Structure 1
Amino acid sequence: ITIYDEEHFVTYLRLLDAQTDNADWTEVARIVLHRDPASDVARTRRCWESHLARARWMTKVGYRRILEQAVEEARLDRH
C-alpha cells in the first residue's frame, strides 16, 4: 500500500460507490477525480479507469496488506 493509496482511500470508495450506482464515468471523473472530460476525454478516461482498477485491487488484495501491516506494527509495538 502506497502513501498515495492511503491519501486516496476515500476516492477509491467513492469510485466503487459510483460504479455500484452505474453512474456515468464522465460525471464521476468530474466530481470525484476533479477532471474535465471535455478538455481531454482520453486522458480523463485513463485516469478514471486506473483509479477504479486500483480501487478494485484494494478490495481484493490491498485490504489484506493493510491488515498485515497493522498486525506487524502491533507486534513491533509490543516489544
Structure 2
Amino acid sequence: MGNQIRKKLTDTPPHSDTLTDYDRAQLKLYARLLDAEAEGAALSEVAQHLFGIDVDDEPERARRVHDSHLVRAHWIAEHGYRELLR
C-alpha cells in the first residue's frame, strides 16, 4: 500500500456498531488483511506491507495495529457489509 493510505491509518480502528468513514476509507486494507490471514502470511510481512511498521523495531505496535484492524475487518465481513449494500 502506498504512503498516502498509511497516512490515513490510525493504530486502532474505531469501535462502532455501524460503518464509519474510517472503515469506508480502509475497505481495501480490510480485504487485504483477510486475504493475508487466509494465506497464513507472517505478521512481519503484513505489518511492513500494509501498515509500514517494522516488526523488529516496534513489535508490540505491529501486533496491536494488525490485530485491531483484523478484528474490524472480520466485523465488516460478518456484519458491516450490510450497510454497504443499502
Partners of 1:60 and 1:6 in 2: CA distance: 15
Partners of 2:77 and 2:84 in 1: CA distance: 11
What is the Cα-based RMSD across aligned positions, in Å? Answer: 0.9
Q: What's the secondary structure of 1:32's corresponding residue?
A: helix
Q: TM-score, normalised by structure 1?
A: 0.80
Q: What's the secondary structure of 2:62's corresponding residue?
A: helix
Partner of 1:25: 43
Higher relative contact order (CA 8 A, sep 6+): 2
> Whose Rg is larger?
1
* 2:27 pairs with one of 2, 6, 9: 9
The aligned amino acid for 2:77 is T
Q: Which runs of 5+ in 2 are unaligned?
A: 1-18
Q: Which runs of 5+ in 1 are unaligned?
A: 71-79
* 2:59 pairs with one of 41, 55, 64: 41
Q: Percent identity?
A: 40
* 1:52 pairs with one of 29, 54, 70: 70
The aligned amino acid for 2:24 is E
User: Alignment length, in residue pairs?
Assistant: 68
Partners of 2:76 and 2:28 in 1: CA distance: 12
Higher helix share: 1
Partners of 1:13 and 1:34 in 2: CA distance: 17
Q: TM-score, normalised by structure 2?
A: 0.74
